[in-house]
Structure 1
Amino acid sequence: MSHKVMQAGQPTDHHVYRHLDEMTPWNDRLQVLEVVSVTDEAPEVKTFTFRSDAQTWFKYKPGQFITLDLPADDGPLMRTYTLSSTPSRPFSISVTVKAQPTSIGTRWMFQNLKPGSLVKAYGPAGHFTLFAHSASKYLFISAGSGITPMMSMLRWLSDCAPGTDVAFVNCARRPEELIFRQELELLSHRMPALSLGFIVHERSLHKSWAGHLGRIDAVRLPLFAPDLLEREVFCCGPEPFMQDIRDLLRDAGFDMAHYHQESFGEPPKEAPTEPVVFTPDGVDGVEGTGVTAVSFTMSGVEGECLPGQTVLQAARAAGVRIPAACESGLCGTCKILKLSGEVEINHNGGILDEEIEEGYILACCSRPLGKLEVEA
Structure 2
Amino acid sequence: MSFSRQGIRARLAASDTSTTERGGALQRLRDAVTWVTTPLLPDDYLHLANPLWSARELRGRIVEVRKETADSATLVIQPGWGFDFEYQPGQYIGIGVLVNGRWHWRSYSLTCPPDWSTPEHGGKRLISIAVKAMPEGFLSSHLVSGIPVGTIIRLAAPRGGFVLPNPLPEKVLFLTAGSGITPVMSMLRALDRRDLFTDVVHLHSARTADDVMFGTELRALHDRHPGFRTRLHLTAERGKFALTDLDTEIPDWRMRHTWACGPAALLDEVESHWHSAGSADELHVERFEIERSAPGQGGTVTFAKTGRTAAVDGATSLLEAGESVGVQMPFGCRMGICQTCVVTVRSGQVRDLRNGDEHREGDKAQTCISAAAGDCTLDV
Q: What TM-score do the two structures reach when normalised by structure 2?
A: 0.64
Question: 1:82 maps to what in 2?
Answer: 109
Counting matched residue pairs gives 301
Conserved 8 A contact 2:171-2:256 = yes
Question: 1:322 maps to what in 2?
Answer: 329
Is 1:257 aligned to 2:277, yes or no?
no
After superposition, give the CA deviation of every residue in 1:155-187 in whole Å (9 maximum; x if it has no partner). Answer: 111112423321001100111111111101111
1:202 aligns to what SS in structure 2? helix
Counterpart among 205, 217, 235 of residue 183 in structure 1? 217
Greater helix proportion: 2
Conserved 8 A contact 1:137-1:231 = yes
Q: How many angstroms apart in 1 are the aligned matches of 2:327 and 2:141?
A: 27
Question: 2:268 maps to what in 1?
Answer: 243
After superposition, give the CA deviation of every residue in 1:50-77 in whole Å (9 maximum; x if it has no partner). Answer: 0113485522111111111222216322
Q: How many angstroms apart in 1 are the aligned matches of 2:231 and 2:282?
A: 20
Q: How many angstroms apart in 1 are the aligned matches of 2:128 and 2:326?
A: 33
Counterpart among 188, 208, 218 of residue 174 in structure 1? 208
1:84 aligns to what SS in structure 2? coil
Conserved 8 A contact 1:88-1:160 = no
Query: Within 5 Å, which residues of 2 pair with 1:112-123?
Result: 112-123=146-157
Change (3 A) 1:125 1:28: farther
Give every structure 1 segment of 4 or more consecutive aligned residues whose post-TM-superposition deviation is greater than 4 Å: 12-24, 26-29, 264-274, 325-329, 331-336, 361-365
Q: What RMSD in Å do the two structures reach over aligned CA positions?
A: 4.6
Q: How many angstroms apart in 1 are the aligned matches of 2:236 and 2:298?
A: 48
Q: How many angstroms apart in 1 are the aligned matches of 2:295 and 2:267?
A: 24
2:337 aligns to what SS in structure 1? coil
Percent of pairs with identical residues? 26
Query: Within 5 Å, which residues of 2 pair with 1:1-376?
Result: 29-54=56-81, 58-73=85-100, 75-89=102-116, 91-131=125-165, 134-203=168-237, 213-218=238-243, 220-251=245-276, 253-263=277-287, 321-324=328-331, 330=337, 334=341, 364=367
Q: What TM-score do the two structures reach when normalised by structure 1?
A: 0.64
Q: How many angstroms apart in 2 are the aligned matches of 1:200 and 1:141?
A: 14
1:325 offset after TM fit, Å?
6.1
Change (3 A) 1:160 1:28: farther
Conserved 8 A contact 1:123-1:333 = no
Conserved 8 A contact 1:41-1:180 = yes
1:216 offset after TM fit, Å?
1.9
Change (3 A) 1:145 1:320: closer
1:97 aligns to what SS in structure 2? strand
Conserved 8 A contact 1:142-1:169 = yes
After superposition, give the CA deviation of every residue in 1:184-212 in whole Å (9 maximum; x if it has no partner). Answer: 11112332210111110124xxxxxxxxx
Q: How many angstroms apart in 2 are the aligned matches of 1:364 and 1:62?
A: 27
Which residues of structure 1 form unaligned runs of 5+? Answer: 1-11, 204-212, 275-293, 302-310, 337-360, 366-373
